[in-house]
Structure formats: structure tokens, C-alpha cells
Amino acid sequence: MDTTRRGFLASTAAASGAAMTQNLAQAADEHAHDDVALPSEPALRVKSLESLLVEKGLVDPAALDAVVDIYEHKVGPRNGARVVARAWVDPAYKARLLSDGRAALRELGYGGAQGEDTLVVENTPRVHNLVVCTLCSCYPWPLLGLPPVWYKSAPYRSRAVIDPRGVLREFGVTLADDVEVHVWDSTAELRYLVLPERPADSEHLSEDALAALVTRDAMVGIAKVALPQKGAQL
Amino acid sequence: MNGVHDMGGEQGMGPIQYEKDEPVFHASWEGRVYAINRALGAWRKWNLDASRHGVELLPPADYFRMSYYERWLTRLIDISIKTGLLTREEAESGKPTSGSSKAAPPITAANVEAAATIRASARRAEAVAPRFAVGQLVRARNMNPVGHTRLPRYVRARTGTIERDHGVFLFPDTNAHFLGEKPQHVYSVRFSARELWGNEARLQDSVHLDLFDDYLEPA
């Protein structure tokens, strides 16, 4: 069992071009007698890389902890939802958001990595927008956080441009025949956020209550925003 | 390069796997790879385009076999060796070469909040004249460079309309190879779905791409 695991790790590492064979085999040995499952192959490689980088003074492990914390807990779709809700309740803000997204987002404090130039595209009863990055995984980090696996996956990246209506149906969104579908392929350093349609009969809701309804999926364009079922808590 | 990463319009990739309540990272090592990538990037030994090209250079079978963050990890090690941040021996042994001096990392716990959320923009202030105007018909060039490009295959030789001039940005095709920034205009170009995919596509549907001056010619 040990030999097999070791052999697997060694051959995988060699095949992937990361010649860390010896290192991996040692790491595997350290865990070989544990009853619990062995750490995964990439986990071992990352551990080895991080300790090397720390030893060389190339990274500060406390800074790495902080980066993980920022993207796990501080930056995420709540940011985008706040922008959407503001646009729904404030027509002047919405006009600024659609004409100069960068400046309007700055007003709410959003910009920075993977969001320096963000364009907001508006869904209407006649137009539905869908965002994709066919070449890699470009996504408006400051507004939505890091992209989910499906967004980065081959099935979504390949089909969103050739069969957007099929993709939307798979996500449960069926569009009327007369609706225009606009797909935005993020091929340069512009990032896209969909401004979903405000749900009907939501006039009584506060800006915060509206923001709570806005999902990541609606801001990528694979969902619509709906009011909660009657009787459900907001 | 005409690689497997350029997958717009490919078919047979299977159903989209949607995970409900998906975590930001599926394992702690994924978060470490993401963070190491940001922290090493701050050394400015490479740029975002070179980094993207690093993933494109993965052999096709590896590209599909690896998870997203495994690709990042592999290209991170490759590019660190290529740019001299690590030696191959160090990457192989996991130990610093004896006698090497210890550096001081540019991103620390003290400045991480700003460093993690602000990145040098690819927008450039140079006054470069645009070659095309809003409303103009353009054709995406039929070009097949072996290096990095952000012109996907599915629009090459297709005709579209300039809908917006985004201003001047550095050019990924040269920047990825450290051959200069070649700043130029980027436009939002609208291609009708029928132009791209034929008469089966809906008349009113369209795909919009952000394309550089050098990718376009008058139609």
C-alpha cells in the first residue's frame, strides 16, 4: 500500500512536470502510518512549495493567511448585491452605473484587482445578459469574489457563447422568443456585472432587503431575482 | 496559441456541474495556492499575461485532468523557475540552495489588505489614436500566433460592429512574452450569433468581445 501510494505520487509528479518527486515521496512516508486518509497530492506539493518560499523569504505566511481570509470572508457577492440594490432604488445612481461603471462603483468603495474597469450591463424585459470568459476565468472579483467551479469549467466556457439559451434552460431560466441574449466574453481587462431586473411587487422593500434577494448567479446572468415565497422570512 | 484553453464554441464537454452553496476554496491548499500566487506576483518577475500564458502551455491532457488550482500550482512553479525566483533544484528538493540569502517579501501581514485588493491596471495613459470608430464594421483578423493571444478562434475572420471604445490598454500578445506593452485601443465588438454560428442561431442574439486594435481590420 505504501509503495503503491509512493509510486503513484512520484509518477504523477513527474508526469505533471513538477519534478518534486523525492520531496513528495518523503512527505507521503511521513503520513504513511496514519490511519486517516493521506493528504492529496497537490496538498503535499503546496505545503512543500510554501515552506520553501517562506524559508527563502519570498512570502510571508501571515500575509497568505490574510489573503485567504479576505477572499473567504470579506470579498464576495454581497458587494455586488449592494450595488444592484442601490441602482434599483436610486435612478440617478443607476444612470451613472450604466454610463461609467468604474466611477459609480468607486462611489461605493469598489475597485481593485480584477475589477479596475467594470461594466454593468442591464437586463430588461427585452434583453438578457450572460457573462463568460471562454479563454480562462476572468470575473469581477471585487464585486462577486472568486468565481465558482462551474464558471471556470469547460462545459460552461465552451457552451455559453454558442448555446446561451440552452445553458440558461439548464439553469432553469427560459427566455421568451422575442428576448435578445447578449453574451459578454471577457477577453480583455474589462469585467462584467449583470444588473438583474428588479422583481415585480418589490416596491415595499428597503434597499437592504432588496440586496438580500440578489444572488451571485443573477449577477453573472444565469438566474433571475425572485421575491421569496409568501410567508417566508426576509 | 491555438490551445485547448480557447474553448468558446466547443461541443461535447458534458453537462455543467453546479454545486449549491459552493465554498470559496474546496480544500485549504487551494486557498494557499491562490494566496501564494498573489504574494509571488508582487515580486513583479512576471505579469498577468505571462501568467495566463503559463496555463495555456500545459499539455492538453494535463489541462483537462488537473483541477483549476492544480493548474495554477503547476504554472506557478514553472514560471518561478523560468524567471529565476526559484532554481529547479530548489523546486525539486523543497530546500533553498545553500548559501542563498534570505529575501524580504513585498507583501506582508502589515500591507496585505491594500496589496491583495489593488493591482496594477492594464489601462495606459498614452495618447494612442484609435484605428476604428464606434459604429464601424470590422473583421477579426484570421491570425494564428503561436504565442499568447486574447483573440479567440471562434471570432477570427468574422465580421462585427464596434459598439464602444474602452480606451488604451497594454497589449497581451507582446506583454506576455516581455516584448513590450504596445499600448492600443480596446473595443467592445458585437458579433451577431448568426455570423458566428450560422442560421440555426437566433437572429437577435449576439456575442460581445473586448478586442484590441491589432486584432481587427476594416470590413
Task: Say which CATH number the domain at B152 has.
Answer: 2.30.30.50
- Given a cut of 70, whether residue B13 has pLDDT beyond it is yes
Higher pLDDT, A110 or A89: A89
Q: Which domain holds residue A155?
A: 76-220
Asked if A133 is an interface residue toward chain B (Cβ–Cβ < 8 A), one would say no
Average pLDDT score over residue span B19-37: 97
pLDDT band at A7 (very low <50, low <70, confident <90, very high): very low
Subunit contact A67:B116, Cβ cutoff 8 A: yes
- Same-domain status, A136 and A199: yes
pLDDT of amino acid A233:
53
pLDDT of amino acid A32:
45
Q: Which domain holds residue B97?
A: 28-117
pLDDT of amino acid A231:
57
Residue A148: which of B22, B38, B88 has the nearest Cβ? B22
- Same-domain status, B54 and B95: yes
- Given a cut of 90, whether residue B17 has pLDDT beyond it is yes
Please, what is the average pLDDT of chain A? 86
Q: Decide if A107 is inside a domain.
A: yes
- Same-domain status, B110 and B32: yes
Q: Decide if B2 is inside a domain.
A: no
pLDDT band at A6 (very low <50, low <70, confident <90, very high): very low
pLDDT of amino acid B98:
79
pLDDT of amino acid A20:
40
Please identify, among B55, B84, B117, the residue that sits at the C-terminal boundary of a domain. B117
Average pLDDT score over residue span A25-41: 53
Please, what is the average pLDDT of chain B? 95
Higher pLDDT, A6 or B1: B1
Q: Decide if A71 is inside a domain.
A: no
Residues 6+ apart with CB under 8 A from A100: none
- Same-domain status, A42 and A124: no
Q: For chain A, how many structural domains are there in total?
A: 2
pLDDT digits (tens, 9 = 90+) for A169-190: 999 999 999 999 999 999 999 9
Catalytic-residue membership of A206: no
Q: Residue A201: how many CB atoms within 10 A of its CB?
A: 8
pLDDT of amino acid A118:
93
pLDDT of amino acid A28:
44
In chain B, residues with a C-beta closer than 8 Å to the C-beta of A67 are 31, 34-35, 38-39, 107, 112, 116
- Same-domain status, A90 and A205: yes
Residue in this structure with the C-alpha cell 466574453, named with its chain if needed = A185
Query: Is the Cβ–Cβ distance between B187 and B163 less than 8 Å?
Result: yes
- How close does chain A come to B72, measured CA to CA in Å? 11
- Given a cut of 90, whether residue A39 has pLDDT beyond it is no
Subunit contact B196:A162, Cβ cutoff 8 A: yes
Please identify, among A59, A91, A108, the residue that sits at the C-terminal boundary of a domain. A59
- Same-domain status, A55 and A80: no
pLDDT of amino acid A40:
76
- Same-domain status, A7 and A117: no
Q: Which residue of A has its CA nearest to B2?
A: A135
- Same-domain status, A81 and A55: no
- Same-domain status, B148 and B203: yes
Q: Decide if B125 is inside a domain.
A: no
Subunit contact A150:B73, Cβ cutoff 8 A: no
Average pLDDT score over residue span B41-64: 96
Query: Is the Cβ–Cβ distance between A192 and B173 less than 8 Å?
Result: no
pLDDT of amino acid B121:
86
Instruction: Show which of residues 24-53 on chain A sit within 8 Å of chain B, judged by CB atoms.
Output: 40, 42-43, 45-53
Instruction: Say how far apart CA A62 and CA A69 lie, in whole Å.
Output: 11
Subunit contact A116:B32, Cβ cutoff 8 A: no
- Same-domain status, A143 and A118: yes
- Given a cut of 70, whether residue B206 has pLDDT beyond it is yes
**Most distant CA pair in chain A: distance in Å?**
67
The number of helix segments (H) and strand segments (E) in chain A equals: 13, 4
Q: For chain B, how many structural domains are there in total?
A: 2
Catalytic-residue membership of A11: no
Q: What is the DSSP string of B60-103?
A: HHHHHHS-HHHHHHHHHHHHHHHTTSS-HHHHHHSSPPTTPPPP
pLDDT of amino acid A9:
41
- Given a cut of 50, whether residue A17 has pLDDT beyond it is no
- Same-domain status, A105 and A150: yes
* Continuous segment of H or E residues that includes residue B31: helix B28-41
Subunit contact B78:A17, Cβ cutoff 8 A: yes
The count of CB pairs under 8 A between chains A and B is 285
Catalytic-residue membership of A202: no
Average pLDDT score over residue span A191-207: 97
Average pLDDT score over residue span B157-177: 98
Average pLDDT score over residue span B123-149: 97
Q: Decide if B199 is inside a domain.
A: yes
pLDDT digits (tens, 9 = 90+) for A96-131: 999 998 899 999 988 776 667 999 999 999 999 999
- Same-domain status, A25 and A101: no
Choose, from A11, A136, A158, A206, the residue flagged as catalytic.
Answer: A136
pLDDT band at A38 (very low <50, low <70, confident <90, very high): low
- Same-domain status, A82 and A43: no
Subunit contact B8:A190, Cβ cutoff 8 A: no
pLDDT of amino acid B9:
98
